Structure formats: structure tokens, C-alpha cells
Amino acid sequence: MAVWAIGDLQGCYDATQRLLERIRFDPARDRLWFCGDLVNRGGESLETLRLVHSLRANASIVLGNHDLSLIAIGERRPEEQRRVNADLQRVVFADDARPLLDWLRQQKLMHVDRELGWAMVHAGLLPRWSIDEAHALAQEVEARLQGNGFRKLLRNMYGNRPMWNPRLTGFERYRAIINVFTRMRYCSPRGRIAFEEKGTPGSQSAGMYPWYESPERVPRELSIVCGHWSTLGLMIGLGVHAIDTGAVWGGKLTALQLDSEELRIRQVKGRVVPAAEAAQADD
């Protein structure tokens, strides 16, 4: 048996297939952890979503910002859906769109396996959040997203404010939690997220830190695997393993074995990026 965490797929179906071959994935004995952002930009989001859905008995998935956006798009009127990019249109207008999106909506913001010694999120954790606190907050949002009131949550989840405060209630509370788990890269020691900062460490504004380096961070008993930050690349340190290596931008797609005493990383080339996209920044 092997447990592999895999970085952001972002609709790169061919690269995903090659990575599964590279790690010799066997559904009879292996498990996969997907770090979120299964879809968007890669041109093969429908095929990628179908593939991960077919592996659901062997997989744990956390939602990324692109996944949540797709779920929200799936609840809009057809005329609004036709305004999104062609990659996502293929998903929402597919014959199996409803079962795929209903399944995606049932996935987590944070996956914790104490026996294995790992936790998985898409983007990160606030410096002062313990594993237990973060997991409880993730479950608050998951319960709403998976329940009957999910449409109202989807309509109210967008926006950069407010910053996290434990006294927040209602949709402001949910929005702040979602922003941490799915959008954060840099933050202040008190937890203010620098949404506009997307570059490599050292490029950020004064007073902002990579979320995993904040001087206010609390000790955590589990290792963390995450994605989201393609310009960071492969980063291992301080109990964090960041494995979004920019497959959708022409980088690599990365798998990290979680149940090995040795550091085992496997990578394959990502997609070929059209020249028109080469200068775009990841978000």
C-alpha cells in the first residue's frame, strides 16, 4: 500500500494520467490525496473531474478556490454559464454535470489523518490556528456547503473581507474561513491575508510572511501537505510540504508519498502552455 498526495491538477488530464503511471498507482491497494484545484485552465477539466470521480473510493480530496468557483457556476442560469471560459463550460454543460458537481460539493476543506500523521489543505492555515481549531472551522463550512443552504453560501462566499476573527458570524464567518483554506499565500502575524501578493518569498510587502513562516505560528502535531501556490514551487520545511509545481503553467505535476519514512517525490511534465497564456499570473 502507498498513500500519495498530488498537487493542483487544474484540468491537466494527460499529466494526471502520466503521474498515476509514474507512481504505479494500483486502486486495489493505494490511496490518493488531491490538494484541490482539480479544474480550470488546463483545457481538460471535464476529463480530469471524471477521472478523479472514478477514483473516489481510493481518494481524499480538499476543495480549492477553482473548485468552489466551478460549483458556484454550476448553480447559475445557462446564460451566465456561457460567459465563463470554454474549459469550465464543457463541465457545466456536460450530460453528467449534475452528479459530478454534486459529488464535488461533498468534498472537504481540510482532511486530517492522525494515524498517518498528516493533514491536507488547499492553501494554508492561519498562524495561530491549531490543527484541531482549523479542522473544526473547516467542518463548519463543509456542513453548510453539503447541506440544503449551500446555494446561499455560494452566492455569499466571494470577497476579501473581513479578515478572520473568532467573533464573526454567518456568511462573513464562512467567507473568512474559505479565504484562509483556499486563497491564502501571505499573511500578517495577526492573520490579515495579502490577497494581492502572489510572487515568490521575498517579493511580498513589509509585514507579510508566507503563512507557514509567520513568527506567530503555533506548533502543530501533524505534517501539512498543500497546493495553491505555483510560484512557490516545491517547498518542504517547517512541517509543511507545498506541492503545487505549476503543471498548468508548463511546470510539473508532483506526487509526494505520505506513508514513507524516506522523502519520496515523483514528478511528470505539465501541459504545453500556449504563448498567449505564458505571461498570465496564477490566482
257 burial level (CB within 10 Å; 0-12, 13-18, 19+): middle
- Rounded distance, CA 128 to CA 111, Å? 18
Three-class HEC string of 47-91: HHHHHHHHCHHHEEEECCHHHHHHHHHCCCCHHHHCCCCHHHHHH
Q: Percentage of residues in the chain with pLDDT exceeding 70?
A: 98
Written out in words, the top-level CATH class of the domain with range 3-277 is alpha beta
pLDDT digits (tens, 9 = 90+) for 260-283: 999 999 999 999 888 767 656 455
Burial of 189 per CB tally in 10 Å (0-12, 13-18, 19+): middle
Picking from 201, 263, 186, the residue whose alpha carbon sits closest to that of residue 233 is 201
Domain boundaries, the chain: 3-277
Instruction: Assess contact for 43 and 10: CB atoms under 8 A.
Output: no
pLDDT of the chain, 283 residues: tens digit per residue: 999 999 999 999 999 999 999 999 999 999 999 999 999 999 999 999 999 999 999 999 999 999 999 999 999 999 999 999 999 999 999 999 999 999 999 999 999 999 999 999 999 999 999 999 999 999 999 999 999 999 999 999 999 999 999 999 999 999 999 999 999 999 999 999 999 999 999 999 999 999 999 999 999 999 999 999 999 999 999 999 999 999 999 999 999 999 999 999 999 999 988 876 765 645 5
Taking Cα atoms as reference points, which of 158, 207, 166, 173 lies closest to residue 187? Answer: 207
pLDDT in tens, 56-72: 999 999 999 999 999 99
Whole-angstrom Cα distance, residue 277 to residue 109? 29
